[in-house]
Amino acid sequence: MSNNQSLQARKAAATPRGVGVMASFYVERALNAELWDVEGRRFIDFAGGIAVLNTGHCHPKVTAAVEAQLKRFTHSCYQVVPYESYIALAERINALTPGDYAKKTAFFSTGAEAVENAIKIARAATGRSGVIAFSGGFHGRTMMGMALTGKVVPYKVGFGPFPAEIYHAPFPNPLHGVSVEQSLKALHELFKSDVDPKRVAAIILEPVQGEGGFYVAPPEFMRALRGLCDEHGILLIADEIQTGFARTGRWFAMDHYDVQPDLMTLAKSMAGGYPLSAVTGKAEIMDTPNPGGLGGTYAGNPLAIAAAHAVLDVIETEQLNARANLLGERLKSRLQAIKADVPHIADIRGPGAMVAIELIDPVSGQADVERTKAVQARALERGLILLTCGTYANVIRFLFPLTIEDSVFAEGLDILEAALKG
């Protein structure tokens, strides 16, 4: 049987270093919020496959749905021979997503694909080519995804040139000196110095930035963007790939706002670990590409579609929106208590269970990257998997399954406290 050391050697010989891997151990099995490596060591998972496992590892209802579909058929390519489950899921997503207008949904395989297709749809609908994104935003690793992403290292290094007519504005971030007013002023300056707003097809943003550091878009900023888009005929795209499906305590992060997007991109926890993504939006906008302009060989794979139906059922029956709020409050309360002894915790933020802490040196006021890495390493040594993020790499984010057992959650918080206190 393979052990972690031998697998590390095989990995180094067989796979490229460009695929960055956090852990030096290899998973053998997992259940809900726990996993075991090939040597039998147990870990508590506060990473959730990067926000993919809101319903946990191997939820029995999701597994059963995939097994049932597996016995019927695994692939026909929806564009060749369609199937009802795809249509039924689109109907459910159309009903669940915010927006009091007729909607349509198209399915794809990855979050980056969803972003690419949202931009295609926006350009087709408006006849324009420009797109505005924000600093710190993450929208994927394809060429368009990288162009939209507002962080150079490690995502963009060595991969240019990128698609043209992509522009960036600063995302509101009071902790780092960017107010809503400054961000909006920068957008207006962009329209004066770089691109005519009548050439802009879309503004895309994450309501809560993921890789960027879990910074939340203020409600007044979202309202201003909606007004700006309406004024200039620009489409507003909400990238909900990391925020969707109960993570923020509501079905979608945009449910926290009193404005509605024109298009949304969805993925990650939609199918509980099976590759599925979507673009949802106003019906008349979604219908602008010609037949054949959207799709993909594996887009809307029937196994992933079956998993997604089960995920939606689990979120509803197990009341995971309420559970996200409960767990998030428990976590924030514990972090506030820890903060009294750990002055490096400069901020505790995030809606629902999309929570993060930012570590800053209390003397210099600078991002404390080394302490962030050390906390992550100490937690991993004790059996807790954590993820870091942020433009300055000094943010620890928490993406545990919303189905996590109370006892396992409490154990994870104890390990987290020990790691933070050193």
Q: Please list the active-site residues.
A: 138, 239, 268
Q: In this structure, what DSSP letter does residue 249 have? A: S
Rounded CA-CA distance 279/264 in Å is 6
Are the C-beta atoms of residues 402 and 314 closer than 8 Å to each other? no
Sheet holding 130-134, edge to edge: 103-108, 277-282, 263-266, 235-239, 200-205, 130-134, 166-169
Are the C-beta atoms of residues 151 and 136 closer than 8 Å to each other? yes
HEC profile for 357-387? EEEECCCCCCECHHHHHHHHHHHHHCCEECE
Rounded CA-CA distance 371/388 in Å is 11
Are the C-beta atoms of residues 345 and 359 closer than 8 Å to each other? yes
Are the C-beta atoms of residues 399 and 243 closer than 8 Å to each other? no
**Alpha-carbon distance values, 203 to 101, 118, 174, 200, 304 (Å):** 20, 11, 21, 8, 29
Tokens representing 217 are: 């878009």
Task: Count Cβ atoms within 10 A of the Cβ of residue 11 and give its class: 0-12 exposed, 13-18 middle, 19 or more buried.
Answer: middle
The Cβ of residue 128 has, within 10 Å, a number of other Cβ atoms equal to 22
The Cβ of residue 381 has, within 10 Å, a number of other Cβ atoms equal to 10
Q: Hey, which residues does 264 pair with through a beta bridge? A: 238, 280
